[in-house]
Amino acid sequence: MKQVKTTNFGDRFFSFFTFCAAMVVLVSLAGIFISLIFESWESLSRFGFFNFIFTDDWNPVKEVFGAAIPLVGTFITTILALLIAIPISLGIAVFITEICPSKLKAPLSIAIELLAAIPSIIYGMWGLFTFAPIMSEYIEPGLQFVFGDIPFIGPIFQGTPLGIDVLTASIVLSIMIIPFISSIARDTILLTPQVLKESAYSIGTTEWEVIKDVILPYSKFGIYGGIIIALGRALGETMAVAFVLGNRHAFPTSFFDATSTITVTLANEFTEADSNLYMSSLYLLSLLLFVISFIVLSFAKFIVHKGSKKWNG
Amino acid sequence: MPGNKNIKLYSKNLSFFYGNNQAVFDVSIEIPQHSIVAMIGPSGCGKTTFLRCFNRMHDLYPGNRYQGEIFFDNQNILSKNIDVTLLRSKIGMVFQKPTPFPMSISDNISYGLKLNGIKNKTEIKDRVESALRSSALWKEVKDRLKLPATGLSGGQQQRLVIARALAVEPQVMLFDEPTSALDPISTSKIEELAAELKKKVTIIIVTHNMQQAARISDYTAFMYMGKLIEYDETNVMFTNPQEKLSEDYITGRFG
Ligand SMILES: Nc1ncnc2c1ncn2[C@@H]1O[C@H](COP(=O)(O)OP(=O)(O)OP(=O)(O)O)[C@@H](O)[C@H]1O
Ligand SMILES: [Mg+2]
């Protein structure tokens, strides 16, 4: 687009100001990236990037640091949280927009937005003091009882259900991201043109078929957008998970195993890092999270953009 | 009025209320089978509201209320125990703006078929093709059936929507200003299509275009302020209207 040249001082000042404001974003992004590289350099040159990623040892005493376990922990909790949160959020959004009586709409929407406003440390504390005991006493033994003996999936329900584990952390995380997905899903569902729904009804569809085949496909890309935001949230979420995941440096083999994520390791160990290499390795972990978030989010955005262009014109 | 023709659909003292706001007043009208009935009248006179009574579209919104009766094949479709979903598959509707579903061209049509329990792949394929042929769209889209329907032009989209409605083999089609968003060429294609369709279905079409009503319809109904003022054969209506109001409207003295 061609810029319109203006001679008015106020206009020029204003456009200069907005330009500076926009530059702040780029400069801080670049600044953070550069300082992460700088700080993690010692660890990076010692272990090498790929070696760091694939090493499953995290041993400050022997000064061996590898990211494999926190990486896997991050992916598992994020994916599980999304798997739990997506169907629930869609249910909430569809209920609010299409099914619930109009008197309930506003209170429900507000409740969900309040859920998003709760600081994550409160989720963490609630998870530790209220939810984890419930999990270990009722839910996890129940799951173990039902699924524990089934071939193939049985093993992932083994172990002592202590409540501080992958499953609890993923559920707490999912509760945190439900508001993001459901409120964005609600907004995009509301954008479905009334006449599109009516034309579906007009060929003899039921309410459920209209939701499933017209409303959800139509708002699909908006919903993906909400999922992306939630994904970003879940990848980087620290406090809610730190309390209920355990920070154990071992791969989880069951839902009831404690493990660690990148953020949990960072939160727990920054104060303990007593050597330069230890500190630098923690920085390398953050760099890794930075890069992963960046790649995942840009890739997801790209897909959404391409898809919505193709199908929604 | 329409002599001793076979009556497919008729309303008896039909009134309609949006909440407390009455929009249709005591309308009785008979729609002969295999004919095209045009509904004309100034903006806001209740044509859309009236049309949407026939497939119970108003049921979707709370507070709406019908009064009177509509008979379709001698069954009162306003009665409580009517299966509205089934009714809507027999009485199709096409709206002012084209409304393709967010699916491919062929899926837009096969969707309704699958809803009606047709599972056989070859049958679906054949019926998609015949629906597209009967809406005169087949030649234009046969090489891009798998592409998104939103990529079609407005006129093509509207014919796709007609094909979609036809695929479930309705007996009646309701058109609410189907060409008002289209260019003249697309408009005349849809008019030709309507003339062809009436061999198979009974058509009610709302239009603001007097020439269109005169060109394609067999009967014309003139509505004013929610009331049916006059209803007659189209050529009588346009050459020798009985009511002063209809004459004024048709000759463009108000509207
Ligand atoms: N959803 C609604 N709620 C309340 N009143 C409505 C609603 N829809 C229409 N009306 C009112 O009902 C009357 C008839 O409207 P309708 O849309 O049926 O007119 P129309 O003849 O189709 O007009 P147009 O030619 O502009 O499409 C108008 O007075 C309108 O304001
Ligand atoms: Mg109208």
Cβ-contact A240, A127 below 8 angstroms? yes
Mean pLDDT of B22-29: 97
Give, in order, the Cα–Cα distances in Å from A207 to each of A94, A101, A204, B59, B81: 11, 15, 10, 12, 18
pLDDT value of residue A308: 75
> Is the shortest distance between the CB of B23 and ligand 1 below 6 Å?
yes
Give dist(CA B226, CA B206) in Å, integer. Answer: 14
pLDDT digits over B161-205, tens only? 999 999 999 999 999 999 998 889 889 989 998 999 999 999 999
Asked if B63 is an interface residue toward chain A (Cβ–Cβ < 8 A), one would say: no
For chain A, the average pLDDT equals: 91
Residue A2 above 60 pLDDT? no
Cβ-Cβ contacts under 8 Å for B244 (sequence gap 6 or more)? none
Using a CB-CB cut-off of 8 Å, the residues of chain B touching A217 are 101-103
Asked if A51 is an interface residue toward chain B (Cβ–Cβ < 8 A), one would say: no
Residue B1 above 60 pLDDT? no
Mean pLDDT of B7-12: 94
pLDDT value of residue B19: 94
Q: Which residue has the tokens 């139509």?
A: A218
DSSP A157: G
Across the interface, whether the CB atoms of B97 and A203 are under 8 A apart is answered no
Cβ-contact B163, B131 below 8 angstroms? yes
Nearest CA owner, ligand 1 atom 3: B18
φ, ψ for residue A252, nearest 5 deg: -80, 140
What whole-number percentage of chain A has pLDDT above 70?
Answer: 96
Determine the distance separating the centroid of ligand 1 and the alpha carbon of B48, expressed in angstroms: 7
pLDDT value of residue A10: 85
What whole-number percentage of chain A has pLDDT above 90?
Answer: 74
Half-sphere exposure of A289 (CA within 13 A, CB side): 28
Cβ-Cβ contacts under 8 Å for A54 (sequence gap 6 or more)? A66, A68
pLDDT digits over A196-218, tens only? 999 999 999 999 999 999 999 88
Across the interface, whether the CB atoms of B168 and A213 are under 8 A apart is answered no
The pTM assigned to this predicted structure is 0.82
pLDDT value of residue B3: 58
Pocket test for ligand 1, best of B45, B52, B58, B204 (most atoms within 8 A of CB): B45
Test the A interface: residue of B83, B84, B85 with most A CBs within 10 Å: B85
Using a CB-CB cut-off of 8 Å, the residues of chain B touching A311 are 102, 148, 150
Across the interface, whether the CB atoms of A201 and B101 are under 8 A apart is answered no
Across the interface, whether the CB atoms of A204 and B116 are under 8 A apart is answered yes
pLDDT value of residue A241: 92
pLDDT digits over B125-138, tens only? 999 999 999 888 99
Q: Which residues pair with B75 in a beta bridge?
A: B72
Residue A165 above 60 pLDDT? yes
Name the CATH superfamily for B7-250: P-loop containing nucleotide triphosphate hydrolases (3.40.50.300)
Mean pLDDT of A176-183: 93
Q: Is the dihedral of CA B210, B214, B216, B218 positive or negative?
A: positive
Cβ-contact B77, B87 below 8 angstroms? yes
All domains in chain A, ordered by first residue: 67-308 (1.10.3720.10)
Q: Between the CA atoms of B214, B216, B222 and B226, what dihedral angle is there, to the nearest 10 degrees?
A: -140
pLDDT digits over A90-129, tens only? 999 999 998 888 889 999 999 998 998 999 999 999 999 9
- What distance in Å separates residue B88's CA from the closest CA in chain A? 5
Residue B76 above 80 pLDDT? yes
Q: Which residues pair with B173 in a beta bridge?
A: B92, B203
Which ligand has the minimum distance to the alpha carbon of residue B40? Answer: 1
Mean pLDDT of A45-58: 94
pLDDT value of residue A304: 80
pLDDT value of residue A303: 81
In chain A, alpha helices (H): 9-47, 49-54, 68-94, 102-117, 120-126, 132-134, 140-147, 166-190, 194-201, 207-210, 216-236, 239-245, 262-269, 276-312
Q: Report domain extents, chain B.
A: 7-250
> Is the shortest distance between the CB of B43 and ligand 1 below 6 Å?
yes
Q: Which residue has the tokens 């727990």?
A: A268
Mean pLDDT of B12-32: 96
Asked if B17 is an interface residue toward chain A (Cβ–Cβ < 8 A), one would say: no
DSSP three-state, residue A293: helix
